[in-house]
Amino acid sequence: MMNLVKVLYKKEMLDASRDKRSVMAGLYYAIGAPIVMCLLFTVLLKQLNSPEALSITIENAGSAPNLVRYLEGHDITHGESGSVKAITLIISKKYPDNMSQGKSAQVTIVADKSDNKLIKSVRRLEGALARYNSEVASLRLISRGIDPNIMRAVTVQTQDQATPDSKGGMFLGIATLSIIIALFYSAMNLAIDTSAGERERNSLALLLSHPLSSTQIVLAKVGAIASYSMIGLVLVLVVSKFAYGMVPWEQLGFSINIDVMFILFCTLLGLPIALMSASLLVFVSFMAKSFKEAQSYVAFVLFVPIGLSMMTTYDIGTDYVQWIPIAAQQYAMIEVIKGNELPIWQVLLSSFSTLGLFAIFAALSSRMLKSEKVVFGL
Amino acid sequence: MNKYGKPLIKLMQSCLIPLAIACSGLAHAQQNQKLLTPCYVDGLEDRLMCGVIPQPLAKQNGDGTIEIHFAVIPAIKETKPTEAVLAFAGGPGQSAIEVAPIFARNLRYARENRDIILVDQRGTGKSNLLQCDTDNLKEQFAFDDQAVSLFKLAKEETQACISKLSTDLSNYTTVAAASDFEAVRIALGYETLHLYGASYGTRIAQEYMRQFPNSVATAVLDGVVPMQQSLVAIGEAIDDSLAALFQRCAKDTTCKAQYPDLESKYNTLTSKLVEKPIQVSVRHPRTFELIDLVITESKLRGAIRMALYSHTTRALIPLVIDAAHRGNYDPLVGLLGNENTVGAIAMGMHSAITCGEDWPNITDENRTKYKASYFGRLMIDALDASCPLWKVKPVNPDFYKPLNTNIPTMLLSGGLDPATPPSWAELTMVDMHNAKHLIAPTATHGVAAQTCANKLIGEFIDTRSFENLDTTCLEKDNTKQYFMNINGPVASQVSEEL
C-alpha cells in the first residue's frame, strides 16, 4: 500500500516538475519576497533614522553662540540648502538676558511630530537640548558650591533584557510572516492544478480507475504539494539569510540574523504546516466545481492562516492565540530568532493540532473523491 | 589614623585620570556559553555577558591564582565573529568594566559589527581590587596638607595601604597583566583583536602588542603614553593645558573684559596660599551643613587640574580663579566637591605601575626637568616616599624601548590634553612602521569621546588602513564658552535687576 503511494507520489512530482513555468511561478514568491522586503526595509530604515549630519533651521542663532556650538558638536547645524529638515529652532530674543540672570531662557522647536520621517530627528534635537540644559544647570550649581548630583534624587538604572537580536520588533514579525506565507503560496498553483486541474483534464477519473484507494491518491498528492511547499520554505529561508544580512539594521541598534540553526528549526517546524497547507488546498480545490472557482476559493481560504500570522506579527493576539496553529509556530520562530527560550509546549501542541488538521482535511478530501459528483465536477 | 592623607596622596599619585575605555567580546560565545552569564553595568542599559577566568598570580608557579573578570558588549550585528575589540582602561587603576558606558560610546561604530571585550586588569575592579582607604569629603576639606611634611604623610599613607593589602605589587605590573588579556581572548575564542587603549590603557595596549603581536589586527591609542617616558612627565602637560586656557581667555574680548589678568590672579592666589592657607567655613556641597575648608595650594591646583580634563568644567576655570581671587570660594568648593571627575582609581594597583615602571627609570636630568612643574614635583616626592616601601621590582629595562611594530596603529591626541599631549604620541611612534598620528587641536584627554574620532576608529578597524580616512572632522572646534558669571556663558547684560 505504501508502495503504491510512493509510485503515485513520484508520478505527481514528475507531473509537477514538467510544467517548469508554473513551478517557478510558485517559487518566485520565495525568492522575490525577501529581496523586495529588504529593499523596502532599507529605505524605511533610512527614513526612520536621523541623518548623521542633521541640518535644521536655527533662527536668531547669534543670541546663543554657546548653544549653537554645542549642537554643532552633536552634528546638528543650521543649514540653508535642500537637505534641511523641516525643523526650526527659534532662540528667543531675551535668551542672552535670561541666561545671564539665571532665568530660564527659551528656545522653541517648530516641527510636525506626526511626520514619521522627522520624528527621530526631532527627538535627537530634543535630547541634545536636554543634555545642554543639564550641563549648564550643573555648572550653575557647581559655581554656587553645590554638587550637581543632588539634582538626581533618584538614579534610574534600566537593565534592558533585550539583545540586539531581539530588538527587531515588528521587523521580526514581518520577516517571519513572509517565511510562513511561503509555505502556502509556493505550492498553491500546483495544488489547484493537481486536483481541480486534473479533474478538468479528465485524468482524475482515470487515476481513480486504478486499484487505488482515494486515501492513497490524496496522500500522494498532498505529499507532492507539501514537498514543493518545503522547497519554497527552504528557498525563502536561504534567500532571507543573505538578503537580511545586507540590510543595515545596526544603524537602529538591532539586527535580524538568520543562521543555519534557525533555518533547520524552521524547516522542521514547517513540515506539519506544509502537510496541513497541502491538504487544505486539495480539499478546497476539490470542493470547487472548476479550476477558476478553485482559484478564487483558495485565495479566500488562505486569509485564515495569513490572518493568524498577522496576529502574531502585530502582536495583537491574546495569550491563547499563541496556542493556535500557525500563530503558535510563528511565535516560536520569533522567540528562537530573538535567542529566547523555545516555547516547547506551544510548539508541540500546535504541531500536533496542525497534523490533526492535516488528517481531517486529508480524510475529507478522500471521502469527497468517493463521490461521483465531485469526481466529475457535477 | 591617616585621616587626611588619602585624597592628597591620591591627587599626587594619580597620573592620568583616564576617561577609560574598554571592550569585551561576545562573539564566539557558542562554545563558551558556560563561561558567560548576562550582566549589567551602571549607566548602560544593554545586556552584557560577563565571565571570569583564573590566572596564575605570578609567572613562577606556586603563589596561587587570581580571578580575572571580563565583560563582553555584544556586537549589534555580528558579521565578524572571529574578531573583537579589546579595550584597555586608563588610570592606571580604572576598572574597564565599570566604564563600559564610555567604551560603548567611544566604540559604537566599531561595535556595529564586532563584540567589545572589557577586562578588569589585575588589581582593578573585580579582578582582585587593590584599593587603599580614602577619606570622605568633609575630612578632605578640613585637612591642612601644608601643616605636615608631605614626605612623612605619604609614607604613613603607604604604610597603611601596605598593611591593608599585604601583597607583592610586583605581580601587578603592566608586563605581568598583559598575559591575562591574552588568556581572555583565548577563552572567548577570538582569532584576532583590535585594540583600543585610552590614557594608561595605551601603555598596556603597547605591551600587549609587544608580547602577542599575532593576536592583534589593529590598534588605536587614544591619549598616548610612550613606553620610554615616565608618567611623571605629565606635570608639563598640565601647565601647558592651563596656559592655553589663559591665552584663550586673554584673546577673547568678553573673557578678557570679564576676567582681566587671569593668569596673574592665579599666580597671586597660589603664592598667597603657599604663604598661608586660607581657612573658611563653607557649605558642604551635598549635605549643605557648615564645614571647615582649608584652602591650600595643592587643593586649588588639584581642583583646577581636574577641571582641565573636560571642556565642560574648563568653562568654569576663569570664574573659579576670579571669584577665589576676590574672596568668593563657592565656585572652588563646587569644583572640589565635584568628585566624580576622579573616578575610581585603584591606588594599590596604581602604585604597582608607577613604582615598578615610572619611578625606577627617572634619570637625574629628567628629575630636574620634571620638577620644574608643580605636579611633577608633587609626584616625584610622593613616589620617592612610597615606592621604597612598596618594594615593587623594577621592570626589565627592555620595557622602556619604544614599540617596534608593523601592526596598523592609529594614535590620537588632543591639542589641549592636560595629560598626554601630542608630543607624547610622536615619541611613541618612532619605531612604528604603519602608524598614523591624528591630532584634534581643541580636544582634551580622550579624543574618541569628544570628537568624530569614534567614527574614524570604526572605519579604521573595518579597513585596517588609513587610506580614505577623512580626518578633517577632527579640526572641528569643540571648546565651550567660559562661564561669564555663575549663571552661564553670557556676560551680564546692561542689567535691569534680577
Q: What is the pLDDT of residues B440-497, one digit of tens each?
A: 999 999 999 999 999 999 999 999 999 889 999 899 888 899 999 989 888 876 544 4
Task: Say which of B38, B480, B486 has its CB closest to residue A144.
Answer: B486
| Residue range B116-173, pLDDT digits in tens | 999 999 999 999 999 988 888 888 899 998 888 888 888 998 999 999 998 889 999 9
Is the pLDDT confidence value at B27 over 80? no
CB proximity under 8 Å: B 94-113 to A: 112-113
CB proximity under 8 Å: B 331-350 to A: 331-335, 337-340
Is the pLDDT confidence value at B80 over 90? no
Residues of chain A neighbouring B483 (CB-CB closer than 8 A): 139, 143
| Residue range B413-455, pLDDT digits in tens | 999 999 999 999 999 999 999 999 999 999 999 999 999 999 9
**A61 touches B at CB < 8 Å:** no
Q: Which residues of B142-154 are buried (b: 16+ CB within 10 A; e: fewer)?
A: ebebbeeebeebb
Cross-chain residue pair A102–B486, CB shorter than 8 Å: yes
Do A249 and A258 form a contact (C-beta atoms < 8 A)?
A: no
Which is nearest to A365 in space by CA: A242, A220, A165? A220
State the pLDDT confidence band at B78, using cuts at 50, 70 and 90. confident
State the pLDDT confidence band at B239, using cuts at 50, 70 and 90. very high
* Å between B33 CA and nearest CA of chain A: 13
**A142 touches B at CB < 8 Å:** yes
Cross-chain residue pair A159–B478, CB shorter than 8 Å: no
Cross-chain residue pair A139–B483, CB shorter than 8 Å: yes
Cross-chain residue pair A99–B490, CB shorter than 8 Å: yes
C-alpha distances out from residue B352 to A135, A150, B10, B122, Å: 36, 35, 14, 11
Q: What is the mean pLDDT of residues B257-286?
A: 94
Do B321 and B29 form a contact (C-beta atoms < 8 A)?
A: no
Q: Which residues of chain A have pLDDT under 70?
A: 1, 317
Do B97 and B343 form a contact (C-beta atoms < 8 A)?
A: no
Report the distance separating Cα B353 and Cα B169, nearest Å.
9
Cross-chain residue pair A143–B79, CB shorter than 8 Å: no
State the pLDDT confidence band at B30, using cuts at 50, 70 and 90. very low
Residues of chain A neighbouring B283 (CB-CB closer than 8 A): 145-146
**B316 touches A at CB < 8 Å:** yes
Q: What is the mean pLDDT of residues B180-187?
A: 95
Residues of chain A neighbouring B40 (CB-CB closer than 8 A): 157, 159
* Mutate: best of B76, B112, B326, partner A, most A CBs <10 A: B76
Mean pLDDT over all residues of chain B?
A: 88
Is the pLDDT confidence value at B218 over 90? yes
**A246 touches B at CB < 8 Å:** no
Q: What is the mean pLDDT of residues B100-124?
A: 93
* 8-state DSSP, B170: G
Residues of chain A neighbouring B38 (CB-CB closer than 8 A): 161
User: Looking at chain B, which residue has its C-alpha nearest residue A249?
Assistant: B77
The Cβ-side half-sphere exposure at B237, using a 13 Å CA radius, reads 28
* Å between B269 CA and nearest CA of chain A: 18
Q: Cite the beta strand spans of B75-171 per DSSP E.
A: 83-88, 115-119
Residues of chain B neighbouring A138 (CB-CB closer than 8 A): 312
* Å between B235 CA and nearest CA of chain A: 26
C-alpha distances out from residue B111 to A344, B46, B80, B357, Å: 33, 12, 10, 33
Do A187 and A232 form a contact (C-beta atoms < 8 A)?
A: yes
C-alpha distances out from residue A160 to A6, A153, A163, B317, Å: 53, 22, 8, 38
Residues of chain A neighbouring B108 (CB-CB closer than 8 A): none
Per-residue confidence (pLDDT) for residue A368, from 0 to 100: 87
Is the pLDDT confidence value at B498 over 60? no
Report the distance separating Cα B275 and Cα A336, nearest Å.
72
Strands of A107-110's sheet, edge to edge? Answer: A76-78, A54-59, A88-91, A107-110
Is the pLDDT confidence value at B29 over 50? no
User: Looking at chain B, which residue has its C-alpha nearest residue A72?
Assistant: B478
Report the distance separating Cα B332 and Cα B335, nearest Å.
5
User: Which burial class, exposed, middle or buried, applies to A349 when counting CB atoms under 10 A from its CB (0-12, 13-18, 19+)?
Assistant: middle
Per-residue confidence (pLDDT) for residue B343, from 0 to 100: 53
